[in-house]
Amino acid sequence: TSVKNCYYSRSVGNLKKTWQSWAEERMEYQRLNPFSNAVLPDTTRLDIEHPEYGRPKAGTHTEERGKDAHKHLNKELEELCLIIKNIGILGEDGNTRVTFGRLFETYVTISNKLVGVLIRGRKHGLLHFEGEMLWQGRDDHAVITLVE
């Protein structure tokens, strides 16, 4: 019986240490988490101007997933620009133009994210089109310009 009690107390002791360690790590995580409801006096808050504001911690899986997503989106944007070059009409100013309807017909078989990629392209100065958003049917005659 004494051997059994000794084993039991060791396993309970290990379980208690493990639980305590987890609880302390969780409290530290919540202390540093800007979205936590646990407002503690020494909670770290980054200033909006801080270079790490809105970015995942370096070396985390979140950072890695973000980098992978960024690469994937850039690849889609490059592919879209190539498609516009192939199906568009070269203007006298050296820029290639295509209507949204023609681009939609061509690109929809490749990806269902055309408008999102177009907006990203405009944000990065690669594309130009009028309006905030392009809608299939309504904006089929809208001209999209590939800025060279």
Instruction: Please indicate, yes or no, if residue 54 is contained in any of the structural domains.
Output: no
DSSP H or E stretch at residue 127:
strand 127-128
Q: Are residues 30 and 71 in the same domain?
A: no
Q: Model confidence over 25-61: pLDDT tens digits?
A: 988 888 777 677 766 655 566 778 888 888 888 899 9
Q: Are residues 74 and 140 located together in one domain of the fold?
A: yes
Report if residue 50 sits inside a domain.
no
pLDDT band at 127; cut points 50, 70, 90:
very high
Residue 86 sits in a domain whose CATH number is: 1.10.10.1540
DSSP H stretches of helix in 48-144: 61-87, 100-107, 114-123
Whether this model's pTM surpasses 0.85: no
Count, residues in the chain = 148
For the chain, how many helices (H) and strands (E)? 4, 4
- State the total domains in the chain: 2
The verdict on 82 and 140 lying in the same domain is yes
How confident is the model at residue 6, as a pLDDT? 52
Q: Look at 1-5, 8-12, 55-59 and tell me which has the smallest mean pLDDT.
A: 1-5
| Chain segment 70-109, per-residue pLDDT in tens | 999 999 999 999 999 999 999 999 999 999 999 999 987 6
- Where does residue 128 rank: exposed (0-12), middle (13-18), buried (19+ CB within 10 A)? middle
Predicted pLDDT of residue 30: 81
Residue 56 lies in a domain: no
Tokens of 59: 């070396």
| 139 assigned to some structural domain | yes
Residue 55 belongs to a domain: no
Segments forming the whole domain that contains residue 120: 61-146
